[in-house]
Structure 1
């Protein structure tokens, strides 16, 4: 019987989700699913472009946290599913989620960009899903 050898790198990749080494893109999706505006704001750029209910503006990290906190209080998240992910660049990522809340479904899109060697959210769009 042959023994299967796993390289340390392959082993790390296989165990990464189990030991909490998820990518920033996945962490953002999980925090949105949890409705955790406070932890989510830690991943925001100093200024972030937010579009919510046809209202688009650039907000500071603190302002954005308050806006999302209000949204999550009014629309309690139940589940989130990644619909689309574009990570063709090591420095920019784009993700689209379907967010199921107690009030309905929303389409959430966010763009992350590397700033000072850290991936931060620079744009967040939340719109009611069209049926």
Structure 2
């Protein structure tokens, strides 16, 4: 009986150690990339964080009104949009791409619900946002 309890104790401690090790290593490897940072900024309605990824020229389409903007103009447009449309939720529905990445999701705001799509393109050693579309749903 003593041997059985000892074996069970060792197994239990080994299991706890393994679970802790896996948990700690998983936590240490969680590094957000540009795509995840863009999704996070959208979820928060944070135009300043989003602007870190804007290309020098960005195409923005809001409810059918499309134009190409400089990085500075695009930041102003996004700040205005998010101030008038406070984000309730953003659910990423689809994503893809290898060198370039895209995301499509549903953005629920105080001003309505939008189908939001964005495109990140590799430029130099980084990823930049070159298009954002907010389409009425």
Question: TM tier, shorter chain?
Answer: 0.7 to 0.9
Q: Distance in 2 between matches of 1:23 and 1:96?
A: 17
Deviation of the 1:103 alpha carbon = 2.1
Correspondent of 1:120 among 107, 128, 133: 128
* 1:81 alignment counterpart: 91
Structure 1 consecutive aligned stretches of length 4 or more whose deviation exceeds 3 Å: 1-4
* 2:63 alignment counterpart: 53
Unpaired stretches in structure 2, ≥5 consecutive residues? 1-10
- The alignment's C-alpha RMSD in Å is 2.0
* 1:32 alignment counterpart: 42
Unpaired stretches in structure 1, ≥5 consecutive residues? none
Larger of the two Rg values belongs to structure: 2
* 1:71 alignment counterpart: 81
TM-score when normalising by structure 2: 0.79
Q: Distance in 2 between matches of 1:27 and 1:95?
A: 12
Aligned length: 120
Deviations 1:55-86 (A, max 9, x none): 11110111001111111111100111100001
* 1:98 alignment counterpart: 106
Deviation of the 1:40 alpha carbon = 0.7
C-alpha contact (below 8 Å) 1:49/1:59 kept by paired residues: yes
* 2:117 alignment counterpart: 109
TM-score when normalising by structure 1: 0.82
Q: Distance in 2 between matches of 1:97 and 1:116?
A: 27
Q: Distance in 1 between matches of 2:61 and 2:111?
A: 19
